[in-house]
Every structure is written in C-alpha cells, then in structure tokens.
Amino acid sequence: MRKSNISRAKSAPKTVNEYLEGVPAPARGALKKLRATIRAVVPPGASETIGYKIPAIRYKGLLVWFAAFSDHVSLFPTASVIQAFKSDLKGYKTSKGTARFPVDKPLPVALVRNLIEARVAQVESSN
C-alpha cells in the first residue's frame, strides 16, 4: 500500500515554503535537509517551484521533484538517473524514477549530491 503525501492541505501549496509548513516532523526535517542538499548542487540559475503539487527545481526546464511522505522523503530525478545509480541505491526503495529515503535514518547526502549532479549533467548535455 502506498503511503500518501502527508502535506495534502485544503488547497495546493503555491511555494516550497508553504509545502514545508504542511509537513509534520520528522519528515519536515528530512525534507529540509534534502532541499538544502539539492540547492547546494544546482547551478545558480535554478529556481524552486511547485509541480504536481510537490516541490520541484527548475533549471532549463523541470530538473527534479522532491516530496515528504509519512515515513520517507522522495527524490524524483528521472528514471535514467535512478537506473545509472542502481547499485548505489541498493539499500533504498526505488521505483522507475524515484528514490525513497527513510525519515528515521540520516539522509545520504553524498548520494543525493551525486544524483543531482548527474541530472544537471543530463540537462546541460541536452541543451
């Protein structure tokens, strides 16, 4: 059974900060760490937005999405990035384009950085 997105509010958030306000602890802390890690890697021209009612980063189009759930935070860097890092992601639940990181364990910052760097490289090479 799929865990539902825990920040579902009466209306869809318009900013990433609004989204974060709707996320209870400990998922909020994990999501803030994920957000900070992503922001530390993306190029200066990147911006935050909401896409599909969850936070996203725009850089030459939509780059990645990220979200909080009751027991994990998810990063959506595209299926090709997940496939490229399949062995590095062995200890985590994944699906075609998603990596899930449990909120009760430390975020694998180096791995997240590598996923984001790979996604940025994809976008750079296609433009």
The tens digit of pLDDT for each residue in 69-84 reads 989 999 999 999 999 9
Structure tokens at 24: 């209870």
Residue 84 lies in a domain: yes
* Cα 41 from Cα 19, distance rounded (Å): 21
- Which CATH number goes with the domain that contains 24? 3.90.1150.200
Range of the domain at 35: 16-126
Nearest by Cα to 100 from 127, 82, 83: 82
pTM recorded for the entire structure? 0.90
Mean pLDDT of the chain: 92
Query: How would you class 19 by CB atoms within 10 Å of its CB: exposed for 0-12, middle for 13-18, buried for 19 or more?
Result: buried
Domain total of the chain: 1
User: Is the model more confident about 12 or about 92?
Assistant: 92
